[in-house]
Structure 1
Amino acid sequence: MLDAGCGTGRVGGALAARGHHVTGVDLDRELLGAARIDHPDSRWMQGNLETLELLDRSGNQETFDGVICPGNVLAFVAPGTAGKVLRSLAAHLAPGGRVVVGFSPLKGYSVASFETDAAAAGLGITARFSSWDMRSITPGADFVVALLDPEQTVN
């Protein structure tokens, strides 16, 4: 699993505790330091999600069965770069892999922009919710959780 915008590793650490191999990436060194202390069995790396290029031991692009991007990461990346971030995350998916994102459109990244960016990244939105506990989404929802799949084009 790739925890994109991992911060202190709270989500990635919980996934690791459930048996997943986790790599977390964030720009903030201080937050990554906390992740390394709190969750030492996972890999925590500094990096920019817009230009992310993780390589495996053979020098090939590393891929993941799943990418999680919670915590308003897409709303807080540099203005105009969320589409590049989604393309970068999609490029790190293994065949059959999926991306899960969560963000508040109230933070400046609109649902319409997200839909456009996801499609441009080759990611179909296969499910949408208004919360992490999978509540139905309604027009004007103040939070969006979306499951993205490169092999689906359902919106």
Structure 2
Amino acid sequence: MTNPPTRWQLAGEDNRGYGRHFAELRASGSDIEGEARLADALAPRGARVLDVGSGMGRVAAALVARGHEVVATEPDAALRAQSRATYPDLAVLPHEALDLDPVDVGVFDLVVVVGNVMVFLGEDTERQVLRRLRSLLAPGGRILAGFELRGPKSGSRVYPAEDFLADAAASGLTATWRFGSYELHGPNDDYAVWVLEAGHDRRPSG
């Protein structure tokens, strides 16, 4: 069965600025590891980590450098090429989120889905993707998700916090924490960072 096109695919060349932007930040010495620092704090030492939509590889590479076993996945061929050029030792699978099967890739202590991946999924596939990510969690595993709530990027959707919480709940996930940044600022109306768990009754902070 063929997956529906993602919003990222439909935006086409309008999204090429993403790779250029982070290449420029890296070349300038700017901090591009905020997501990785939080992911590292959420994971046990030497954890199995899945980076869904790994882009140019910056988060996955930073987690490898911190001693984790990382599986990176990026369906965009241009971003995979950039990742190979920037981090040649980082292996990247071409899978979309819906193509990830625990039989093939195993299960993970932490699944990372940041960089606005959630607002670029195919239309009406959010719950499917969240259920798939839940199936990839090891016992006690968690999901770190982050995206812009107002959908300002070319081709992305507006994804209000209440809609995301409803989709997570319908997928068997609970948001145990919500922040406004990867430095753990309080929740705001522009950006949300979520920590999700399976089979947990605790309500999100904020």
Letter in 1 for 2:97: L
Query: Residues 126 and 149 of structure 1 are in contact (CA less than 8 Å); yes or no, is this contact kept in structure 2?
Result: yes
Query: Residues 21 and 42 of structure 1 are in contact (CA less than 8 Å); yes or no, is this contact kept in structure 2?
Result: no
Structure 1 residues 64-98: Cα deviation after superposition (integer angstroms, max 9, x where no partner): 11011111100111121111111111111111110
Partner of 1:36: 84
Partner of 2:161: 111
Q: TM-score normalized by structure 1?
A: 0.89
Residue of 52, 55, 74 corresponding to 2:103: 55
Partner of 1:124: 174
| Aligned-residue offset at 1:123 | 1.0
Partner SS for 2:118: helix
Partner of 2:187: 137
Farther off after superposition, 41-50 or 7-16: 41-50
| Stretches of structure 2 lacking an aligned partner (at least 5 in a row) | 1-48, 152-157
Partner of 2:66: 18
| Stretches of structure 1 lacking an aligned partner (at least 5 in a row) | none
Letter in 1 for 2:118: L
CA distance in 2, matches of 1:35, 1:95: 30
Partner of 1:78: 122
Percent identity reads 38
Rg larger for: 2
Partner SS for 2:140: strand
Query: Residues 123 and 153 of structure 1 are in contact (CA less than 8 Å); yes or no, is this contact kept in structure 2?
Result: no
Structure 1 residues 129-150: Cα deviation after superposition (integer angstroms, max 9, x where no partner): 0111001114xx1000000011
CA distance in 1, matches of 2:143, 2:58: 18
Q: TM-score normalized by structure 2?
A: 0.68
Structure 1 residues 37-76: Cα deviation after superposition (integer angstroms, max 9, x where no partner): 33333331011113322534xxxx6101101111110011
Letter in 2 for 1:63: V
CA distance in 2, matches of 1:80, 1:54: 22
CA distance in 2, matches of 1:51, 1:120: 20
Give runs of ≥4 in structure 1 deviating > 4 Å.
none
